[in-house]
Amino acid sequence: MHDTMSIQNATKRQICPTHPGEMLREDFLPDYGLTTATLSDALGVSGQTINEFLKERRSVTPLMALRLSRLFGNAPEFWRHAQQARDLWEIERRFQKELDEIRSLDGV
């Protein structure tokens, strides 16, 4: 019997998951009428931090996920899961050859 949390999707994602900074830049900022400056003020972080995040050069930290969730009224897990999906996809691509050498113990 499998726990539902351990069921794996057999199909590998071919397209890179959206970076949370892109979501913020393309969806949240326009929808809420925010600028980089108003967002940095609202979150209590520097403009440089926001710029790096929007340019996808910075990842969502647990603290940033909490800040964003408070501001937008969503769950911090929304931001962390989006970041995790992106990180895992990028790392799998970077280490594909190495990972292909590992064989599953359950024969899958």
Residue with the two structure tokens 């280490």: 95
At residue 54, does pLDDT exceed 90?
yes
Would you place residue 14 in the very low, low, confident or very high pLDDT band (cuts 50, 70, 90)? confident
Domains, the chain, ranges and CATH? 18-100 (1.10.260.40)
d(CA 67, CA 61): 10
- Provide the pLDDT confidence category of residue 58 given band limits of 50, 70 and 90: very high
Query: What pTM was computed for the model?
Result: 0.82
- How sure is the predictor about 1, in pLDDT bands with cuts at 50, 70 and 90? very low
Q: Looking at this protein, which amino acid is placed at residue 14?
A: Q
C-alpha span between 29 and 75 (Å, rounded): 17
